[in-house]
Amino acid sequence: MHRIACSIATPATLLAAVAALAGCGSAAPNNGGVAQTLQGKYVSVVNGVSPSVVLIQTPQALGSGVVFDTHGDVVTNAHVVAGATRLSVTLNGGKQVAATLVGTDASTDLAVVRMAGATPPPATFADSSKISVGDIALAIGNPLGLHASVTEGIVSSLDRSVSEGNGVTLTSAIQTSAAINPGNSGGALVDLSGQVIGVPTLAALDPQLGNSQASGIGFAISSNQVKTVAARILAGG
């Protein structure tokens, strides 16, 4: 913390120095300006990342996806596309295109789908080993089908091991306080540099509240794991 000091040479000058303290106060931080700067950063990140986040629909489910490369490949959760024989993707601008399933990795709950005739800009995936607890995080996706919605929170914890309840356990998961609702699955958890740090996958359930969703406790697959698994799927592994 940078301190701005007001020098007091001798006790004889104490009264004058106290009277002059208001002048020192003029160097206090402009909190309104800080808030405006942070707000502008949020807006910039959302505007930059949203074109790379899509809505994925199947006859059985609705979820989100993140554009992975320049070939129209989209990474999402395997449970979003499980059992689907028909896929459609809605881009950020509202255009709907058909898609095919490239492959899935059930053990990590990740999948890749390929859009037909559409190549929106790919997201930038961060090195998730460099994120810290307390980092601001924004979740961008399609909760409850509300296209391109944004929730805000922080990175609450790292390297969580979380059971999905279907035989799949997420390892090295990122816990976040950004709200994760049905339809957010497969979307983007991003930092303030606009890079994807994880793929939101599930929210914690509170058994004391009849297994209803626990507020402020969501989990995302780390971007490093997403990059590794998606590359393996695209390579035919």
133-172: pLDDT as tens digits: 999 999 999 999 899 999 999 999 999 999 998 889 999 9
Examine residue 80 and state whether it is found in any structural domain, yes or no: no
The CATH number given to whatever domain includes residue 211 is 2.40.10.10
Domain count, the chain: 1
For residues 193 and 45, what is the distance between their CA atoms, to the nearest angstrom? 7
For residues 181 and 179, what is the distance between their CA atoms, to the nearest angstrom? 6
Examine residue 10 and state whether it is found in any structural domain, yes or no: no
Examine residue 201 and state whether it is found in any structural domain, yes or no: yes
Examine residue 63 and state whether it is found in any structural domain, yes or no: no
Examine residue 27 and state whether it is found in any structural domain, yes or no: no
DSSP sequence for the chain: ---------SGGGHHHHHHTHHHHHTTS--HHHHHHHHHHHHHHHHHHHGGGEEEEE-SS-EEEEEE-STTSEEEE-HHHHTT-S-EEEE-TTS-EEEEEEEEEETTTTEEEEEESS--PPPPPBP-GGG--TT-EEEEEE-GGG-TTEEEEEEEEEEEEEEE-SSS-EEEEEEEE-S---TT-TT-EEE-TTS-EEEEEEEEEEEGGGTTEEEEEEEEEEEHHHHHHHHHHHHTT-
What does the block give as tokens for 207?
A: 């058994």
Predicted confidence (pLDDT) per residue in 87-129, tens digit: 999 999 999 999 999 999 999 999 999 999 999 999 999 999 9
Least reliable range by pLDDT among 4-18, 46-60, 204-218 = 4-18
Going by pLDDT thresholds of 50, 70 and 90, the confidence category of residue 32 is confident
Going by pLDDT thresholds of 50, 70 and 90, the confidence category of residue 213 is confident
- Domain membership of residue 210 as a residue range: 124-223
Going by pLDDT thresholds of 50, 70 and 90, the confidence category of residue 7 is very low
What pLDDT, on the 0 to 100 scale, is given for residue 209? 67
Examine residue 36 and state whether it is found in any structural domain, yes or no: no
Give catalytic residues, as residue numbers: 79, 109, 185
Give 231's contacts (C-beta < 8 A, 6+ positions apart): none
Using the predicted structure, report yes or no on whether residue 29 has a pLDDT greater than 80: no
Examine residue 60 and state whether it is found in any structural domain, yes or no: no
Going by pLDDT thresholds of 50, 70 and 90, the confidence category of residue 22 is very low
Examine residue 217 and state whether it is found in any structural domain, yes or no: yes
Using the predicted structure, report yes or no on whether residue 51 has a pLDDT greater than 70: yes
